């Protein structure tokens, strides 16, 4: 059976995981780390670099790099780096493609399907842009789910019968989000989950602009 990978496409860093041996397992990248910087760059010989290699280039040749482009998802803004023009969707697809390759190397098989998380405040345009990025990366995006929902699912995975009220705090590289959630088991569709999103959202002013 072909596995479905879960992807956290983050503002600063991204990662992917697979359900293995009864629990989620983070997948290491080519450098042995489970965290891949959400950075892309174009080298002097016109190669696309993603992750740690691109992050290193950011120090010496920032004009050839792009980062925090997740903030541009769902917009028409384009970014020029190294003589090439990219949309946020295209840049995100390069990160997703790198994660897909890491997952295939780890699992020893092709990966086609993925679930990607997005911030709870993402609108339809941003969610569609994320799905398009996955498709450009060669992934069949089975579902787009909210990041706090993913956190709550992981937290309650081993205690599915319990009803809980949670505060999910996401202290990310680009934004700070706090979500209040009520979690419970579905019962013949008679009860619907409740959640309150965007109780608190603060953009970190220390975060650099997308290019330089």
Tokens of 159: 């205690």
**Catalytic annotation on 177?**
no
Query: Pick the catalytic residue: 8, 90, 102, 177?
Result: 8
Instruction: Please give the helix or strand (H or E) that residue 87 lies within, else none.
Output: strand 84-87
Intra-chain end-to-end CA distance of the chain, in Å: 44
Coil vs helix vs strand at 160: coil
Query: Pick the catalytic residue: 56, 104, 113, 170?
Result: 170
Are the CB atoms for 57 and 211 separated by under 8 Å? no
**Catalytic annotation on 8?**
yes
How many angstroms separate the CA atoms of 52 and 166, rounded?
34
Query: Pick the catalytic residue: 55, 70, 100, 177?
Result: 70
Query: Pick the catalytic residue: 90, 102, 147, 177?
Result: 147
Q: Where are the alpha helices (DSSP H) in 48-116?
A: 52-60, 88-107
Tokens of 106: 């780890």
Coil vs helix vs strand at 96: helix
**Catalytic annotation on 25?**
no
- How far from 110 is each of 49, 105, 178, 202, CA to CA, in Å? 22, 9, 36, 39
Tokens of 29: 């990248």
Give the list of residues 6+ apart from residue 153 with CB closer than 8 angstroms, or none. Answer: none
**Catalytic annotation on 45?**
no
Q: Which residues are marked as active site?
A: 8, 70, 147, 170
């Amino acid at each position: 059976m072909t596995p479905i990978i879960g992807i956290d496409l983050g503002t600063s860093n991204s990662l992917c995981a697979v359900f293995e041996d009864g629990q989620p397992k983070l997948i290491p990248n080519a450098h042995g780390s489970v965290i891949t910087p959400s950075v892309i760059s174009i080298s002097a010989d016109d190669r696309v670099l993603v992750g740690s290699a691109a992050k290193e280039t950011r120090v010496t040749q920032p004009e050839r790099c792009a980062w925090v482009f997740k903030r541009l998802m769902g917009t028409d803004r384009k970014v020029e780096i190294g003589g090439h023009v990219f949309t946020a969707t295209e840049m995100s697809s390069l990160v997703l493609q790198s994660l897909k390759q890491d997952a295939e190397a780890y699992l020893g098989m092709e990966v086609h399907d993925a679930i990607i998380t997005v911030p709870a405040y993402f609108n339809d345009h941003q969610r569609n842009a994320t799905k398009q990025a996955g498709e450009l990366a060669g992934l069949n995006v089975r579902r787009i789910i909210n990041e706090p929902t993913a956190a709550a699912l992981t937290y309650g995975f081993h205690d599915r019968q319990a009803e809980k009220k949670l505060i999910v705090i996401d202290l990310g590289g680009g934004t700070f989000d706090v979500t209040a959630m009520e979690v419970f088991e579905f019962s013949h569709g008679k009860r619907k989950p409740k959640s309150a999103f965007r109780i608190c959202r603060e953009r970190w002013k220390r975060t650099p602009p997308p290019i330089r």
